[in-house]
């Protein structure tokens, strides 16, 4: 069943036809109008009430249709999650950095929802996965401790905000206490008065501008200047010195578990997540900053950037599946060359599929760039690629 999906116009999105999310939305629904000066950030595919998908044939809300036809979800999904899709599938087009944020675990989300229901509106966790459609930048997880120590030595403005005593403690602490000391450093930075941060960033930007190219590269000048131009005076501008700067190439994937700090910076991706709105923000945002909660939730695990890449498992010559360590979702990537016929593997879960490149034909449906469709559990599709370029599609489902 083909779907019409919701296009979200958040201010950080790419503008007009630069937005892959907007172009795919129009590909799936020719009635979508793309305006030149409007930022199009996300295409939502699923049953979330803030942007539900609808059946193209009838206009019916997908959530309502599933309630009336629960068998389409698959027995395993119904047993574990009830009569609902446990995931939300998206395309993101990022022009401006998203907030430095963390998502709580299931038990933490339940506690936050109980204590602060106006802010944390549901009791669910929100693990998420991003698969790059273009070169895609993110900050993700704390850097290895040696790198953070080097930046504290190299960046006097950062050291001043963290505090000399905290910086000294981090440089000398043993492995068994490094997470505790790092948490003290991070808390000290994030709770500094706004005027102190503003003065420090003004000094930092002035100093970076005076450096030679080699020193600018070592001190992340281009990224820091870009973030400051987007969020002047925001403490999150120091983020690149603490968090891994990850650049994904098309087809590469990133998995973000609970309590892992991250911020998407630029590019286009397919994203899948558990159904939740629980986001704790603390930098690079005009929205509510809940610094105490974020500092409390963070895991403070230091790992290299390479550890953040999430590698899928090859199922056959055309199919790779990405199964994170949660039951809420998995994502399948399928690339089929020109002229080839392919049958998709039946899955125990209902799924949502989007075509991001190429076109194909099958008996009851024509697949084109931007096509989105719902596939009931235990069903398959056989299609023949008709475009001169390979067909690329992504399939989201429960990980059951």
Residues labelled catalytic: 281
Three-state SS sequence of 160-229: HHHCHHHHHHHHHCCHHHHHHHHHHHHHHHHCCCHHHHHHHHHHHHHHHHCCCHHHHHHCCHHHHHHHHH
Nearest CA to 389 among 344, 340, 337? 337
Annotated binding residues: 101, 103, 128, 262
What number of other Cβ atoms are within 10 A of residue 171's Cβ? 15
Annotated binding residues for Zn(2+): 101, 103, 128, 262
Q: How far apart are CA 306 and CA 301, in angstroms?
A: 14
Alpha helices in the chain (DSSP H): 20-28, 62-68, 75-81, 106-115, 145-154, 156-162, 164-172, 178-190, 194-209, 213-218, 221-230, 291-297
**Inter-axis angle of helices 178-190 and 145-154, nearest 10:** 40
């Amino acid at each position: 069943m083909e779907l019409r999906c919701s296009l979200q116009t958040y201010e950080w999105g790419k503008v007009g036809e630069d937005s892959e999310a907007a172009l795919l939305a129009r590909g799936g629904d020719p009635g979508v109008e793309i305006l030149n000066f409007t930022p199009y950030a996300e295409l939502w595919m699923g049953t979330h009430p803030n942007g539900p998908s609808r059946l193209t044939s009838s206009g019916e809300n997908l959530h309502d249709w599933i309630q009336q036809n629960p068998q389409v979800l698959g027995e395993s999904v119904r047993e574990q999650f009830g009569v609902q899709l446990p995931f939300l599938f998206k395309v993101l087009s990022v022009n401006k950095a998203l907030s430095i944020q963390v998502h709580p675990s299931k038990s933490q989300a339940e506690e936050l929802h109980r204590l602060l229901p106006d802010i944390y509106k549901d009791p669910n966790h929100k693990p998420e996965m991003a698969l790059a459609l273009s070169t895609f930048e993110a900050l993700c997880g704390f850097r290895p401790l040696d790198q953070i120590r080097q930046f504290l030595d190299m960046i006097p403005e950062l050291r001043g905000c963290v505090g000399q005593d905290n910086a000294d403690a981090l440089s000398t602490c043993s492995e068994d206490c490094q997470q505790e000391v790092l948490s003290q450093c991070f808390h000290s930075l994030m709770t500094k008065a706004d005027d102190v941060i503003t003065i420090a960033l003004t000094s930092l930007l002035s100093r970076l501008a005076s450096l030679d190219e080699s020193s600018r590269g070592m001190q992340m000048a281009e990224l820091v200047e870009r973030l400051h131009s987007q969020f002047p005076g925001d403490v999150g501008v120091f983020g690149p010195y603490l968090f891994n700067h990850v650049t994904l190439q098309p087809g590469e994937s990133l998995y973000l578990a609970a309590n892992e700090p991250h911020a998407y910076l630029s590019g286009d991706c397919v994203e899948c997540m558990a159904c939740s709105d629980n986001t704790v923000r603390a930098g690079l945002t005009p929205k509510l900053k809940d610094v105490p909660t974020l500092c409390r939730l963070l895991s403070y695990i230091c790992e290299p950037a390479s550890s953040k890449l999430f590698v899928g498992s090859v199922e056959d010559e055309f199919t790779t599946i990405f199964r994170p360590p949660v039951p809420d979702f998995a994502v399948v990537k399928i690339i089929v060359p020109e002229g080839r016929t392919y049958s998709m593997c039946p899955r125990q879960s209902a799924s949502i599929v989007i075509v991001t490149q190429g076109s194909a034909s099958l008996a009851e449906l024509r697949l084109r760039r931007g096509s989105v469709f719902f596939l009931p559990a235990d069903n398959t599709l056989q299609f023949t690629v008709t475009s001169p370029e390979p067909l690329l599609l992504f399939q989201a489902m429960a990980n059951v």
